[in-house]
């Protein structure tokens, strides 16, 4: 009798584990489940919004981010995500406003500067794009892609010398570092 009960318990636990593990195969389903279990927390809504965004479901992503902000108005990540959603929807003015709001509520964020650089560029606001990328590079000076984007911004403003300088700086970033075991390395430097 004990063996039958033991087998039944193991079978029930296995079925429960199997059904729970199916959620891990679907990012949206996983975060919907988390939202159901923690409806008063912003983080599950933010993660659900990212899952919807990655799936191209921008309206649902918008709603989930707005719910996260309703729960936690100081959620810079939700504002940042909203900026990305608005950009995908072609609403650049709203996208820029959301990235600025993300920085206002959480000045420790850095990705809004990167996004703002792109949004401003897309909107033809080259000087603002330049400022945003320069701010990002103050945080991450060794990010070659941003140097490349900044060079494009400079070229769009016909600042060709600055564009070339930026591209040369980018090339220096992707060059291998001279180490003592490499031929031609200056050992006295």
pLDDT digits (tens, 9 = 90+) for 117-137: 999 999 999 999 999 999 999
CATH of the domain at 63: 1.25.40.10
Q: Judge whether 76 and 43 are in contact, CB under 8 Å.
A: no
How many beta carbons lie within 10 A of that of residue 142, not counting itself? 10
Task: Give the domain-ending residue among 105, 135, 150.
Answer: 105
Would you say residue 15 lies in a domain? no
In this predicted model, what pLDDT tens digit does every residue of 150-182 receive, in sequence order?
999 999 999 999 999 988 876 666 655 444 444
What pLDDT sits at residue 180?
42
Task: Give the domain-ending residue among 73, 105, 137.
Answer: 105
Average per-residue pLDDT in the chain? 86
What pLDDT sits at residue 175?
53
Cα-based distances in Å from 44 to 29, 78, 114, 162 = 12, 11, 24, 44
Whether the pLDDT of residue 44 is over 90: the answer is: yes
Would you say residue 95 lies in a domain? yes
Residues 68 and 81 grouped into a single domain = yes
Task: Give the domain-ending residue among 89, 105, 121.
Answer: 105
Scan for tokens 């008063």, then name that residue: 40
Whether the pLDDT of residue 71 is over 80: the answer is: yes
Domain holding 130, by residue range, is 110-175
How many beta carbons lie within 10 A of that of residue 169, not counting itself? 16
């Amino acid at each position: 009798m004990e063996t039958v009960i033991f087998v039944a318990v193991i079978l029930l636990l296995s079925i429960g584990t199997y059904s729970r593990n199916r959620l891990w195969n679907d990012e949206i389903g996983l975060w919907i489940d988390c939202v159901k279990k923690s409806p008063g927390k912003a983080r599950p809504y933010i993660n659900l919004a990212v899952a919807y965004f990655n799936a191209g479901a921008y309206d649902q992503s918008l709603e989930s981010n707005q719910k996260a902000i309703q729960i936690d108005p100081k959620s810079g990540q939700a504002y940042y995500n909203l900026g990305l959603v608005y950009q995908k929807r072609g609403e650049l003015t709203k996208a820029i406003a959301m990235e600025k709001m993300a920085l206002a509520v959480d000045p420790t964020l850095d990705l809004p500067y990167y996004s703002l650089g792109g949004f401003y560029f897309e909107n033809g606001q080259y000087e603002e794009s330049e400022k945003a990328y320069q701010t990002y590079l103050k945080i991450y000076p060794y990010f070659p892609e941003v140097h490349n984007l900044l060079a494009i911004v400079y070229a769009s403003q016909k600042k060709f010398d600055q564009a070339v300088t930026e591209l040369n700086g980018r090339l220096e970033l992707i060059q291998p570092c001279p180490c003592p075991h490499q031929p031609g390395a200056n050992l006295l430097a």
